[in-house]
Amino acid sequence: MAYWRLHYHLIWATDERRPIIDTAHIDVLHRALYGKAKELALIVHAVGGMADHIHFVASVPPKLALAECVGKLKGASSHAVNLGRDGAAAFRWQAGYGALSVGGRSLPDVIAYVRDQVRHHQGGSTISVYERTTENDDGVSVLVEPTMPH
């Protein structure tokens, strides 16, 4: 078996950042995320979030591409929520996600941050880089054009 320590802090938001994750969705989302994580052989360290986004801290085995991992987590969780919607508008995640690699020494601090999401958001003590799902702060992805040598 290969030795690996690949820890990630993943963040993704609801479609158009609508605040639609309520107490009824939390349990369904967590069950779906933990179930899919087990299927993918992820080690889940923390799950948290607010009404418009999710934080997911996990160790991802190197056999799994990160983009594939996030796609499967988002797909399984939105599917689970939509099963119980009974004609309500479909629950969807925004395209894209934020992904930060986490060193072993920083992992406990990131886990604590994710577990205390409500306190951080209510108290204005969020860490902006831990909350980003797009390339800039106004929610619009930035396309950086490659520069060509002259």
What's the pLDDT score for residue 87? 63
**Residues with Cβ within 8 Å of residue 127, at least 6 apart in sequence:** 113, 120
- Per domain, the residue ranges of the chain are 7-131
What's the pLDDT score for residue 150? 36
Q: Rounded to an integer, what is the distance from CA 54 to the centroid of its chain? A: 5
Tokens of 90: 């479909």
What's the pLDDT score for residue 50? 85
**Residues with Cβ within 8 Å of residue 49, at least 6 apart in sequence:** 21, 55, 117
What's the pLDDT score for residue 102? 94
What's the pLDDT score for residue 72? 97
What's the pLDDT score for residue 149? 42
pTM of the model: 0.82
Per-residue pLDDT reduced to its tens digit, 19-34: 999 888 899 999 999 9
- Of residues 76, 74, 103, 101, the one with CA closest to residue 12: 74
- Average pLDDT of adjacent 10-residue blocks, the chain of 150 residues: 90 92 89 97 94 94 96 95 78 92 94 80 64 58 36
SS3 at position 92: coil
What's the pLDDT score for residue 60? 97
- Please give the order of strands across the beta sheet that includes 43-50: 43-50, 53-59, 7-13, 98-102
Class of domain 7-131: alpha beta
Taking each continuous run of H as one helix and of E as one strand, the counts in the chain are 5, 4
55, containing H or E segment = strand 53-59
